[in-house]
């Protein structure tokens, strides 16, 4: 019989691979990073929608105010309220107008509800509502101050776009 040298040829060598635990930890870290990027993307889309909404509201307000600016000083749209009563007149800084109960702080310029504003309009698609109020002889005699609030009617949109316009009697 031949003498056979039986040696164990199975040797474990370090091939530089990853263990299962290392792979799982790497996957968890990668998942957290992807989730953070996904959250930033959703936040970016929401912010972009909000900015677009504000831009559309500003464009609508601007076009409506340009229409009001082209009117003559005594036109009904800027001389009478929607109920037919005359607009507020500024008397002095401490006065309260007894006809409308408006305090001297804002002269009714901040009445933004449709039932309290001098006038209101909605876009054709009813997405935006613009209310505007007028005070005559403010800040000086012969000037009408028009304040327009435009609100996006979409749920969750509560920040209005506000413009002030001064209309001169001589123009």
Q: Cis omega before residue 139 (within 30°)? A: yes
Cβ contact 85:134 at 8 Å: no
Q: What is the pLDDT of residues 121-133, one digit of tens each?
A: 999 999 999 999 9
Tens place of pLDDT per residue across the chain (171 aa)? 555 555 555 555 666 778 999 999 999 999 999 999 999 999 999 999 889 999 999 999 999 999 999 999 999 989 998 888 888 887 654 444 444 444 445 777 787 888 888 999 999 999 999 999 998 888 788 889 999 999 999 888 778 899 999 998 875
β-strand partners of 80:
86
Which residues, 6+ apart, have CB-to-CB distance to 70 below 8 Å? none
Task: For 6-18, write each residue's pLDDT tens digit.
Answer: 555 555 566 677 8
The Cα 85–Cα 133 span in angstroms is: 13
For 60, other C-beta atoms within 10 Å of its C-beta total 21
pTM for this one? 0.70
Domain ranges in the chain? Answer: 21-168
């Amino acid at each position: 019989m031949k003498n056979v040298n039986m040696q164990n040829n199975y040797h474990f060598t370090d091939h530089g691979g990853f263990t299962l635990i290392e792979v799982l930890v790497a996957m968890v870290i990668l998942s957290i990073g992807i989730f953070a990027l996904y959250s930033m993307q959703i936040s970016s889309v929401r912010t972009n929608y909000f900015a677009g909404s504000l831009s559309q509201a500003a464009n609508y307000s601007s076009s409506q105010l340009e229409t009001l600016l082209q009117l003559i000083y005594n036109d009904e749209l800027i001389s009478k309220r929607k109920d037919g009563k005359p607009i507020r007149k500024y008397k002095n800084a401490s006065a309260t107008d007894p006809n409308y109960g408006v305090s001297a702080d804002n002269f009714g310029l901040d009445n933004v509800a449709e039932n309290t504003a001098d006038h209101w309009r909605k876009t054709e698609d009813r997405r935006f509502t613009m209310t505007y109020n007028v005070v005559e002889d403010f800040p000086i005699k012969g000037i009408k101050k028009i304040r327009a609030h435009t609100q996006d009617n979409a749920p969750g949109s509560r920040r209005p776009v506000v413009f002030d316009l001064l209309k001169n009697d001589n123009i």
